[in-house]
Amino acid sequence: MSLSMENLGLALFNLLLVILLSPLLEGIIRKLVAIVHSRIGPPLYQPYLDLLKLLGKEEIVSSNNFFFRYSAVLGFGAILLVALLSPIAAAPPLNAGGDIIVFIYMLSFSAVMIMLSGVTSESPYGVLGAAREMMMVLTVEPVIVIALIVAAVNADSLQFGAIIAHFQNNPFPLSMVIVGIVLFISIVAQLARLPFDIVEADQEIMEGPFVEQSGPKLALFKWMFYAKELIFAAVFVSIFIPWFHSEVFIVNFLYTLVKILVMLVVVGVVHVVNPRLRIDQAVRYFAVLIFITIIGLAFALAGS
């Protein structure tokens, strides 16, 4: 079926990209933040060092519970699966395995793992963080869902491959512009960047769900975040910025990379110039965003 050589190669490529390249993007953002802060900042490869260090560090087990022990592994595994389901420079390798609904739900699976790690830690900070994570999912997810549905309605398919192909060959409607903007704002929250790093909020609740995580588990969680950044950015740019498409894979890839970089720079800037919102402010903020996406949806249904 879908396991042709080409697909296999693409799958490997996606995996490697997500695993290996994502810390670099994090490094770039850190550097950027440092520049705005007028600091020298860490070297670009610092995230790699962090991860390597953590992977070898002692793991402190404070709760003898399956989900406390393995939520990081499951979460990271899920994000790798998401990587296979998402289009990075090309149609997703598992285009025949799942559509955007599956994509959204697999993403929420990783969020569930974060929550489980929080609630199973028995620390009140962990549970509080998990509750906040849930609330963020509750408010941010609808935006992403509706935005992707707008794309699907326009393309009359739920498959990423078909959607991307549709926008490469057809005019870009107004509804997509509206939801694209909103989606971009919500991605800042999905990536847990300021002003929406409410879940971890290290000054407030000490990394929330990760308060009891240490060693390799913490590494995996951090890595998961880096990977998520990359995937989100890739999905966003390939659906909502589809212009100037090339048939050559490598060109396409480099072009996508540039788009991702630009986007993450913008995210980084937003991150550094904003203070953190309180959770209730964020919730209300997203209520407005959801409303706007629904307007976008109405446009899409009206055919524009």
Within positions 181 to 240, which residues make up the interface with other proteins, using CB under 8 A?
Answer: 206, 211-212, 215-217, 219-220, 223
Q: Which is nearer to other proteins, 184 or 286 (CB)?
A: 286
Write phi, then psi, for 191 (nearest 5 degrees). -85, 5
For other proteins, the binding residues in 103-142 under the rule CB under 8 A are: 105-106, 108-109, 112, 115-116, 119-124, 127-128, 130-131, 134-135, 137-139, 141-142
DSSP 197-228: TTTT-HHHHTTGGGTT--HHHHHHHHHHHHHH
Per-residue burial over 147-165, b if 16 or more Cβ lie within 10 Å, else e, is bbbbbbbbbebbbbbbbbb
For other proteins, the binding residues in 16-55 under the rule CB under 8 A are: 52, 54-55
Judged by CB under 8 A, the number of residues near other proteins is 87
Q: Which is nearer to other proteins, 139 or 186 (CB)?
A: 139
Q: Does 272 bind other proteins (CB under 8 A)?
A: no
Residue with tokens 């949806």: 297
Q: Which is nearer to other proteins, 32 or 149 (CB)?
A: 149
Taking CB under 8 A as the binding criterion, the range among 28-36, 71-79, 165-173, 184-192 that sits at the site for other proteins is: 71-79
**Type of residue found at 233:** A
User: Which residues are CB-neighbours of 24 under 8 A, at least 6 positions away?
Assistant: 44, 45, 47, 48
For other proteins, the binding residues in 140-169 under the rule CB under 8 A are: 141-142, 145-146, 149, 152-153, 156-159, 162
Q: Which is nearer to other proteins, 72 or 263 (CB)?
A: 72
Residue of 21, 24, 28, 80 that binds other proteins (CB under 8 A)? 80
Cβ 16 to other proteins shortest distance, Å: 11
Q: Does 277 bind other proteins (CB under 8 A)?
A: no
User: Which residues are CB-neighbours of 235 under 8 A, at least 6 positions away?
Assistant: 86, 87, 103, 160
- Count other Cβ atoms within 10 Å, centred on residue 270: 16
